[in-house]
Amino acid sequence: MKFPRLLAGLGLAVLTGLAGTACTSHAGAAAQVGSSTIETSTVRGIVDRGLAAAETAQTAQTLTRTALQRRTITMLVDLKVRESAAKSLGVTVSDQDLNAFYQASAVLGYGGVKEFETNAAALGYAKEDLLTAMRVGALEFAIADKVAPTTLASPDYARAQYDGLVQQYGKLPLTYEAARPYLQRFLASDERNAKIQPVLTDTANRLGVSVNPRFGEWNAKESVVDEAPGTIATTEEPVASTAELTL
């Protein structure tokens, strides 16, 4: 099961046609999404904590500071877009909703929260920043439930997947009935993505996205920050993995 793109930068949908023409001087800002500024200090904090987490995990794979900067900015842009789309639809995600999504994602992806957080640390996600990443996925769940409430995997398919996870991890801390709503949505993620993509695209086009060229350039087709020729961000020694966490 593919984890929603959220620990890579994150979001279930590809925002094709995303505007990249928001006007900003980028003074002190890593990116601008509509009238909202993503501060350079915010990005730096997440990156520094992520690098420290990866060093503690002693991963043997590679992650550079510049790659983590781009991944972090992508995540924060995705979050701004989804928050705006949710507000327009009258959709809310409470702290309780977010915590439940966090637990379900961890259990169904890795067998438990501790295992999930250990893998996340190895990939450069500090524990204190994981809720920010997971909020992207939780918002997408809520938006898809509003736009496509009946687009779900069958209970039988969800049951079979749950039984497979039990065989893989042993007894899970979530019963099937507690896990079923999440499984039905995760397993139908491609179909749900197709339904919410127009909403996210329209929202992103309305807001406009601009990235400080110090960190790269906005790839509107893929909804990610790409490395750009002439960027002034310095290349660091690799310290951790750039891979995604997956369900």
Instruction: Give yes or no for a contact between 78 and 70, defined as CB atoms under 8 angstroms apart.
Output: no
Nearest to 123 by CA among 6, 217, 232, 224: 6
Q: Fold for domain 5-226?
A: Triger factor/SurA peptide-binding fold (1.10.4030)
d(CA 29, CA 237): 24
Question: Which residues of the chain fall short of a pLDDT of 70?
Answer: 1-27, 59-61, 230-247
Cβ neighbours around 74 below 10 Å, total:
26
Could you identify the residue written with the tokens 């400080």? 212
- pLDDT for position 230: 60
- pLDDT for position 62: 75
- pLDDT for position 84: 96
d(CA 129, CA 135): 10
Structure tokens at 4: 């929603």
Nearest to 185 by CA among 161, 202, 165: 161
pTM of the full structure: 0.82
- pLDDT for position 157: 97
Q: Could you tell me the residue ranges of all domains in the chain?
A: 5-226
- pLDDT for position 60: 57
Alpha helix positions (H), 8-60: 40-57
